[in-house]
């Protein structure tokens, strides 16, 4: 069984040995291994049961560290990194050959981010390699936002979980790539699209790919609880599903039902994002047959919340995501 602790040096020791460990970030917990060590990367795929055509994000300490692994950084990417790193922003950049093909699924780009969590920062300062670190869960399942969530799914398969407390953001990073140096958002996440565009201007949006995705988080079905999730107006859904056997995920309205979670009673989108995966995890553990959820307002982080809910509700299973 995995040990849970707060020793950054222990996590670093295991990583140097080629082991994989769970680490906290400000977005979700990641399953980390030496991104330059093919066997460690292969172990990440094995533990997650993740298809190898699904590329990984590498995590680095800072912008100078990122430059060791990419051929060049387009000007808008540099502006974004200077504004949002460390933080929940991933940049899709042309890779150097030092990055193994297994990390990038053979693509000529690599996804790079600089996490803001203090323990992740301390860990990256202790090792001399980048960390490949997708979400520390089984492929396609709900992302973990607490150490105990990792233990529930991966505790028998990894040696150590670095406990950094609940993840303060609770949604995966926003992924931005560049086509002919023009910015494209490939995944909505912890930085709102509006905030990205406020810095670099208008961006494209390519969120879905049925196969051979360019970036993590592009498959139709992902981030899914084990129970069926139906997305729509809760008032309408409750006309068709029995309240006593339905889990209710509402944004702010209290329906007074036995199995309900409110993402944010005050209507705060950041609070709602922080609670999303936690509450879906709690609802799937309740004695309910179905989870009924309503979308958030389609603005700011609400767009990323709705993206996760739509993928969780998708009926056609397709294999993919980065973090």
Walk me through the domains of the chain, giving residue ranges and CATH numbers. Answer: 228-313 (3.40.50.11030)
- Taking the C-alpha atoms of residue 270 and residue 52, their distance in angstroms, rounded to an integer, is 32
The least confident of 195-199, 260-264, 312-316 is 312-316
The structure tokens listed for 93 are 């950049």
Q: Going along the chain, which residue ranges are E strands?
A: 3-5, 21-23, 30-34, 57-59, 89-94, 109-113, 131-132, 160-162, 174-179, 182-187, 204-205, 228-231, 246-250, 260-262, 290-293
For range 254-280, the mean pLDDT: 96
Residue 318 binned pLDDT confidence (cut-offs 50, 70, 90): very low
The structure tokens listed for 150 are 């990792």
The structure tokens listed for 261 are 């979670």
pLDDT of res. 260: 98
* Average pLDDT score over the chain: 92
- Taking the C-alpha atoms of residue 79 and residue 319, their distance in angstroms, rounded to an integer, is 32
CA atoms within 13 A on the CB side of 164: 26
pLDDT of res. 321: 42
pLDDT of res. 140: 86
- Taking the C-alpha atoms of residue 211 and residue 297, their distance in angstroms, rounded to an integer, is 29
* Radius of gyration of the CA atoms of the chain, in A: 19
Q: Is 51 left (phi over 0), alpha (psi -120 to 50) or beta?
A: beta
pLDDT of res. 305: 96
Exposed, middle or buried: residue 316 (CB in 10 Å: 0-12, 13-18, 19+)?
exposed
pLDDT(39) > 50: yes
Phi, psi at 307, each rounded to 5°: -60, -45
Q: How many residues does the chain have?
A: 323
Q: How far, in Å, are 59, 194, 195, 266, 309 from residue 300 at the CA level?
A: 25, 6, 8, 16, 15
pLDDT in tens, 195-244: 999 999 999 998 765 455 565 554 555 678 989 999 999 999 999 999 99
pLDDT in tens, 1-29: 899 999 999 999 999 999 999 999 999 99
pLDDT of res. 216: 56
- Taking the C-alpha atoms of residue 147 and residue 127, their distance in angstroms, rounded to an integer, is 22
Beta 89-94 vs 30-34: how paired, if at all? unpaired
pLDDT in tens, 124-137: 999 999 999 999 99
pLDDT of res. 212: 55
pLDDT of res. 150: 98
pLDDT in tens, 57-116: 999 999 999 999 999 999 999 999 999 999 999 999 999 999 999 999 999 999 999 999
pLDDT of res. 316: 41
What is the three-class DSSP state of 237? helix
Q: How far, in Å, are 6, 44, 77, 83, 116 from residue 122 at the CA level?
A: 11, 21, 24, 21, 10
pLDDT of res. 217: 53
pLDDT(320) > 50: no
pLDDT(323) > 70: no
Answer for the pair 143, 308: CB distance below 8 angstroms, yes or no: no
- Taking the C-alpha atoms of residue 315 and residue 28, their distance in angstroms, rounded to an integer, is 25
What is the three-class DSSP state of 2? coil
Q: CA torsion 278→305→121→55, rounded to 10°?
A: 100
CA angle 106, 143, 311 (to 5 degrees): 75
pTM assigned to the model: 0.91
For range 146-171, the mean pLDDT: 97
């Amino acid at each position: 069984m995995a040990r849970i602790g707060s020793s950054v040096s222990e996590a670093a020791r295991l990583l140097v040995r080629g082991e994989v460990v769970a680490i906290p970030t400000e977005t979700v917990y990641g399953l980390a291994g030496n991104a330059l060590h093919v066997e460690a990367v292969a172990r990440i795929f094995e533990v997650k049961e993740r298809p190898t055509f699904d590329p990984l994000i590498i995590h680095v300490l800072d912008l100078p560290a990122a430059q060791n692994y990419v051929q060049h950084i387009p000007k808008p990417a540099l502006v974004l990194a200077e504004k949002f790193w460390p933080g929940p922003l991933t940049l899709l950049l042309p890779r150097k050959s030092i990055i193994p093909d297994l990390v990038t699924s053979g693509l000529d780009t690599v996804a790079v981010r600089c996490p803001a969590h203090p323990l992740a920062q301390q860990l990256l300062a202790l090792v001399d390699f980048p960390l490949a670190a997708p979400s520390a869960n089984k492929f396609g399942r709900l992302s973990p936002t607490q150490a105990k969530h990792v233990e529930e799914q991966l505790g028998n398969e990894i040696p150590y979980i670095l406990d950094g407390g609940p993840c303060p953001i609770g949604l995966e990073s926003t992924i931005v790539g560049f086509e002919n140096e023009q910015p494209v958002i490939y995944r909505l996440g912890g930085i709102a699209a509006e905030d990205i565009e406020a810095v670099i201007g208008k961006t494209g949006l390519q969120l879905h790919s049925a196969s051979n995705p360019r970036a993590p988080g592009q498959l139709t079905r992902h981030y899914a609880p084990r129970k069926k999730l139906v997305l729509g107006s809760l008032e309408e859904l409750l006309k068709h599903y029995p309240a006593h056997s339905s889990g209710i995920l509402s944004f702010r309205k209290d329906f007074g039902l036995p199995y309900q979670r409110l993402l944010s009673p005050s209507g705060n989108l950041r609070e709602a994002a922080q609670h999303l995966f936690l509450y879906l995890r709690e609802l799937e553990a309740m004695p309910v047959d179905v989870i009924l959820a309503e979308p958030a307002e389609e603005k700011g982080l609400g767009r990323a919340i709705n993206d996760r809910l739509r993928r969780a509700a998708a009926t056609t299973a397709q294999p993919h995501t980065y973090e």
